[in-house]
Amino acid sequence: MGVFGNRQNSLLKLVQDGLPMTLMQQLRLTVQLSIPAVISQLSSILMQFIDASMVGSLGAEASASIGLVSTTTWLFAGLIYACATGFFVQVSHLLGAKDAVAARDVLRQSVTMSMIFSLLLVAAGCAISGPLPRWLGGEETIRHDATMYFLIYILALPSLQLNILASGMLRSSGNMYTPTVLNIIMCILDVIFNFFLIFPSRIVMIFGAEIPVPGAGLGVTGAALGTAFASIIVAVLLMHSLCMKSPELRLTHEKGSFRPTARCFRNALGIALPMGCERVIMCGAQIMSTVIVAPLGTIAIAANSFAITAESICYMPGHGISNAATTLVGQSTGARRKDLTWSFANISVIMGIAVMAAMGVIMYVGAPYIMGIMTPVQEVVDLGARILRIEAFAEPMYAASIVAYGIFVGVGDTLAPSIMNLGSIWAVRLSLAAFLAPRYGLEGVWTAMCIELCFRGMIFLIRLYRKKWLK
């Protein structure tokens, strides 16, 4: 990992060994872990941005077909993330307690249990792929492409499960760099695959020369295949890095069983079940939002989809800092150091709010340009820019909820935050969206989202600073 990674590991060792840390060392460690995590999150969302912009060049209907099923794909992604979290939080605590042997035992069992879980999700996803676009209220013209995109995404779930599991395990050990580099590689591979799979064979002008470029001309289906192929390749590389090269977690240290134990399963279930239930109900709420938006027409669906992708560029730094907070809080908890647990929590949430506030300003100013990159349809650009500017005001408080959630996950406290998320999105966002959408269209839906995110950030900050979660 280089000199930077070695300094980071030496600071993490201070946490594990119970040695005192100055405020400057705590800040430095938080920044060192956050920067690669932020880059990793940004590369992940950049891949979605690339997909959206490449498909957007095909027209509003192609974009709408992906936007229609996007909330459902988030549901399945959320479930496999919850499953992986149940295991890598355990590993973070064990490494903080300097019990690497037990951490590797959890890793072995996690591979078996998470793969079984992802295959069950594949079966469920394939079963609903046909009627799903109709259930969501999509127009007849976009249903076939929506079904194909969703089906290919579902078939690639096992590779995505391994990707999330391996990335989480490496981050839990303090290695933020390998997942970051490989996520960037996945982004590059996605561009390459999309270039050949989405568009038909064509002539490209390079420095005045006409270069024939082969292409499959698969459109939306090609975008899904490009993402799936990139995910499979990177999942293999991540698992190799984790199981063969990680100093703390490589499985060549000793022989062990991949057979799940009741204790590991119970521990994982205690962390993952509240998160999984939350993801189901929250994505159910997002699907309801899609149902609210669908009657507004193809332009609104496309603008909504593009704006969600564009906004995620702003909040992904928050998720990166949240990932770093989960690692720092998890290892501090495992080392039984409440002083550091609170200090890292405080530093992380302030950093997240500051970064996302700055990103909100950038989003407000650059909204028309960001939307213009993704689609040439001016109506979509104009509507998308207006709703992005509404959302910009929610970014600081959204950061508070994202980073605080990562802090609570780090200590293994997932039930109360999940209930808070659910209550906020169902009681505030959906009720306001249902009221405002018929009156103000898509702008009403996003106004409801802005108000709800500010409310959610407020209640997460209240819970964070009451400190009951530290007990």
Please state the rounded mean pLDDT for residues 328-348: 90
pLDDT of residue 8: 55
**Cβ atoms 319, 179 nearer than 8 A:** no
pLDDT of residue 4: 44
- Please tell me which residue, 74 or 190, carries the higher pLDDT value: 190
> Quick one: pLDDT band at residue 52, thresholds 50, 70, 90?
low
Q: Per-residue pLDDT for 50 more than 80?
A: no
210 backbone dihedrals φ, ψ, rounded to 5°:
-85, 115
Q: How far apart are the C-alpha atoms of 448 and 454, rounded to whole Å?
A: 10
> Quick one: pLDDT band at residue 84, thresholds 50, 70, 90?
very high
Please state the rounded mean pLDDT for residues 63-71: 81
Residue 191 burial class via C-beta count within 10 angstroms: exposed 0-12, middle 13-18, buried 19 and up: middle
Please state the rounded mean pLDDT for residues 388-394: 93
Strand partners, 212: 203
3-class DSSP string for 154-174: HHCHHHHHHHHHHHHHHHHCC
pTM score, whole prediction = 0.78
Domain encompassing residue 429: 2-470
Of all residues in the chain, the percent with pLDDT exceeding 90 is 44
- Please tell me which residue, 1 or 312, carries the higher pLDDT value: 312
What value does the mean pLDDT of the chain take? 87
- Please tell me which residue, 286 or 88, carries the higher pLDDT value: 88
- Please tell me which residue, 308 or 163, carries the higher pLDDT value: 163
Number of domains in the chain: 1
Q: How far apart are the C-alpha atoms of 407 and 326, rounded to whole Å?
A: 5
Among 5-19, 159-173, 250-264, 424-438, the minimum mean pLDDT is found in 5-19
Among 21-30, 203-212, 213-222, 406-415, the minimum mean pLDDT is found in 203-212
Q: What is the DSSP letter of 406?
A: H
Q: 């949240």: which residue's tokens?
A: 322
> Quick one: pLDDT band at residue 2, thresholds 50, 70, 90?
very low
Q: Per-residue pLDDT for 439 more than 80?
A: yes
Which tokens is 238 given? Answer: 């991540």
